[in-house]
Amino acid sequence: MFYYEIDQDLKLKPLEIHYADELYSLTNNNRAYLREWLPWVDATRSSEDTKVFIQTTLKQFAENKGFHAGIFYKGELAGCIGLHGIDWNNKKTTIGYWLGTDYQGSGIITLSCRAIIDHAIHNLKLNRVEIRAAEYNLKSRAIPERLGFVNEGKVRQEEWLYDHYVDHVIYGMLADDWK
């Protein structure tokens, strides 16, 4: 399983079933904020829904198709990050992440992304890592920009978000460019 200790306060640990209540509580307490950009929030109505999500991520990991990790800050579950899938034929993946509002503004996601990118490029030997973010989700877009990703363009109406489509900006990082 993936485990990464970034520093004494920040750790990335695999999501496991026993985190379902804590993850659901974090989601529920940040529901209005998360719903602005994440299409799965309304479908997460209970700890049981979160448990099903965790089971799906464990299956994904077992099949070597990616993983999701909890972001733990000072021992508390602060958010999630993971590889949405791995395309082994083309050696590429896409990173997704979210963080509770109480944990924002202190570099947690940037550090977590850096760790995931290091893992994807150096350990998994992938050639390409993408981050996709809704065009107007400026906080999310700031992460790949801060990490030196290349803005490769926009995909129009890429995602249905409750009652409207949103365009996504695609950021790419190649193994040769990652320091």
How confident is the model at residue 120, as a pLDDT? Answer: 96
Token reading at 8: 């004494």
Q: What is the mean pLDDT of residues 161-178?
A: 96
Can you give the CATH number for the domain in which 42 is found? 3.40.630.30
Whether residue 2 has pLDDT greater than 90: no
Whether residue 78 has pLDDT greater than 90: yes
Interior/surface letters 56-71, b for 16+ CB within 10 angstroms, e for the rest: ebbebbeeeebbbbbb
Report how many domains make up the chain: 1
Mean pLDDT score of the chain: 95
Token reading at 82: 């993971």
75: left (phi over 0), alpha (psi -120 to 50) or beta: left
Q: What is the mean pLDDT of residues 163-175?
A: 97
Whether residue 1 has pLDDT greater than 80: no
Q: What is the mean pLDDT of residues 41-55?
A: 94
How confident is the model at residue 179, as a pLDDT? Answer: 78
Token reading at 159: 């995602």
pLDDT bracket for residue 24 (50, 70, 90) = very high
Token reading at 100: 């509770």
pTM for the complete prediction?
0.93
Whether residue 172 has pLDDT greater than 80: yes
| Residue 141 phi, psi dihedral angles, 5° rounding | -65, -25
How confident is the model at residue 102, as a pLDDT? Answer: 96
Q: What is the mean pLDDT of residues 158-174?
A: 96
How confident is the model at residue 47, as a pLDDT? Answer: 94
| Residue 69 phi, psi dihedral angles, 5° rounding | -125, 150
pLDDT bracket for residue 3 (50, 70, 90) = confident
% the chain with pLDDT above 70: 99
pLDDT bracket for residue 50 (50, 70, 90) = very high
User: Which of 3-7, 80-84, 135-139 comes out lowest in average pLDDT?
Assistant: 3-7
Which residues span the domain enclosing 11? 4-177
